[in-house]
């Protein structure tokens, strides 16, 4: 079964592709020349639906969309919905990371969590999208663990693995992460729905 992934983020695409079960083929919207829509929602769910609906409408395929971000309770949930552009609309991962570290100066409560919402839409007019969610609890470290890593991974310390998200293997990340949780739930539902 062909599905279009409503994301232009190659890191997300790689993480999702690595966990797709047999019987499903994931096509990136970028491959189809589909630009990302403006994310005007006020929640992760709303933005994921906007993206899935857009990709399905243009491609004609069922679509999967991910909307996710890092939430820091002591910063009233920021960067949250704006995680990818926390330091500005064209900010790099490093700039976003630096802004977050600066925002937390002098704050002792460094608890944080990654939240992921995945939406599956059979078509752009699907009245009952399938929605799954995942949450990964951790805390923000005082300095990045390594120079490489995707997004906020170098400063997100997960006690369950005793490392930052940038230091663990892809397999470990898929096991514990917010996206891994949501993907397992989503494809469990889809596999049952489309079982022959």
pLDDT tens across 52-95, in order? 999 999 999 999 999 999 999 999 999 999 999 999 999 999 99
What pTM value is reported for the model?
0.93
- Helix ranges (H only) for the chain are 10-17, 44-59, 93-103, 170-176, 178-193
Q: Is 67 an annotated catalytic residue?
A: yes
- Print burial letters for 43-56: b (CB count within 10 Å at least 16), e (below 16): ebebbbbbbbbbbb
**Averaged pLDDT for residues 6-10:** 86
Does the structure show a pLDDT above 60 at 196?
Answer: no
pLDDT for 149: 67
pLDDT for 147: 62
Tell me which of 67, 93, 109, 126 is the catalytic residue: 67
pLDDT for 63: 98
Structure tokens at 35: 């630009």
d(CA 8, CA 21): 21
Structure tokens at 18: 């690595």
How does the average pLDDT of the chain come out, rounded?
93
Ranges 3-12, 48-57, 105-114, 126-135: which has the least confidence: 3-12
Contact, 186 vs 132, CB < 8 A? yes
Contact, 84 vs 96, CB < 8 A? yes
Domains of the chain in start order, with CATH, are 2-193 (3.90.950.10)
Q: Could you report how far apart the first and last alpha carbons of the chain are, in Å?
A: 12
């Amino acid at each position: 079964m062909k599905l279009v992934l409503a994301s232009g983020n190659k890191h997300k695409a790689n993480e999702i592709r690595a966990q797709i079960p047999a019987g499903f083929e994931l096509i990136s919207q970028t491959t189809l020349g589909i630009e990302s829509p403006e994310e005007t929602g006020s929640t992760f769910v709303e933005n994921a639906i906007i993206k899935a609906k857009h990709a399905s409408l243009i491609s004609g395929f069922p679509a999967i969309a991910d909307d996710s971000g890092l939430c820091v309770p002591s910063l009233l949930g920021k960067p949250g919905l704006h995680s990818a552009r926390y330091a500005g609309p064209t900010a790099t991962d490093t700039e976003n990371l630096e802004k977050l570290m600066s925002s937390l100066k002098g704050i002792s409560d460094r608890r944080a969590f990654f939240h992921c919402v995945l939406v599956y839409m059979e078509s752009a007019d699907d009245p009952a999208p399938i929605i799954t969610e995942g949450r990964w609890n951790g805390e923000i470290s005082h300095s990045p663990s390594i120079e490489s890593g995707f997004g906020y991974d170098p400063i997100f310390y997960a006690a369950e693995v005793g490392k930052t998200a940038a230091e663990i293997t892809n397999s470990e990340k898929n096991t514990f992460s917010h996206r891994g949780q949501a993907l397992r739930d989503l494809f469990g539902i889809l596999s049952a729905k489309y079982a022959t």
